[in-house]
Amino acid sequence: MVIANRQTAELFEFSAGMPKFDVPFPDFIGQIWSAQIGEAARLRLAEQCASWPLKERRSLEVELHNGHRLEMTCNPVPDGSAVVIIEDVTERRQHEAAMLYLARHDALTGVLNRRGLGIELERILSHAAITEDDSPALLYLDLDGFKQVNDTFGHGSGDEVLRDVAMRLQRSVRDDELVARLGGDEFAIVIRHAKRTSAAALAQRIVDELERAFHLVNGKTAITGASIGVAFAAPGEPADVLIARADKALYEAKQAGKGTYRISGDTPVARPQT
């Protein structure tokens, strides 16, 4: 038995009148959505339904041409047959996607947040074929003099600068590179395939870019800069260790006078004990 509510039933399009009910279940489902999903997708769906264990409580999701997502839930009954409930889950999936996006992105700038960076970086590291000349790299940067921007112009103007910083960073990287805000005035960039020369060039380009004045909506001009720590991934290294090494290199750049970058391992400087 197949049950569909009115909202879901309105999505059905039958190319030749009402569907036939005296056919195998995969054929019945295929003919319901033949006009909505196309012939190739219809065949794939019929294949999925054919292997779908109707004696177990399982769900199968289908995406239609118009963007709607339908979920079929199988509910076995004592006589050995099953009731299949078809539900439009489009809004639910959109809400879930929106919540997932918010959980992984910074609300102020729209770039990845610390959690999102960790997830993406772990995924990149797990698939990377790391060699001496090609490995993922992390650039960890901190704005120089940002507190003075907040103190002079207020936190609203500080937020404006942070949004502008995120946009400048996104313009400075390639499409396959990631930008994240780690909190406060700290940002990070992930390069999937980096060499020492290319990572150093990007770091210097960002230092130069963030030295340019920020023109605020109140007509004022804010000046800041950036210091950057760079770390290249080692085989088997977890994301948090790579981030910690880049953070240490950032500290070394700050110690060197700010407005510059340092690469992890190049200039070891011990952090003071707290």
Q: Sign of the C-alpha dihedral, residues 177, 181, 185, 190?
A: negative
**Helix, strand, or coil (residue 229):** strand
Q: What residue has token string 């196309």?
A: 38
Beta bridge partners of 135: 194
Q: Please tell me which residue in 185, 208, 240, 247 is annotated as part of the active site.
A: 185
Radius of gyration of the chain (CA): 27
Closest CA to 172 of 203, 147, 150, 215: 203
DSSP state of 273: P
| CA–CA distance, 183 with 53 (Å, rounded to integer) | 47
The answer to whether 143 and 225 have CB atoms below 8 angstroms apart is yes
* Full 3-state SS string of 48-82: HHHCCCCCCCCEEEEECCCCCEEEEEEEECCCCCE
Beta bridge partners of 230: 139, 263
**Helix, strand, or coil (residue 260):** coil
**For residue 176, which amino acid is it?**
D
**For residue 27, which amino acid is it?**
D
185 is catalytic: yes
| CA–CA distance, 243 with 265 (Å, rounded to integer) | 14
- 157: tokens are 């103007």
Measuring CA to CA, how many Å separate 63 from each of 39, 57, 68, 186? 14, 20, 6, 40
Catalytically annotated residues? 185
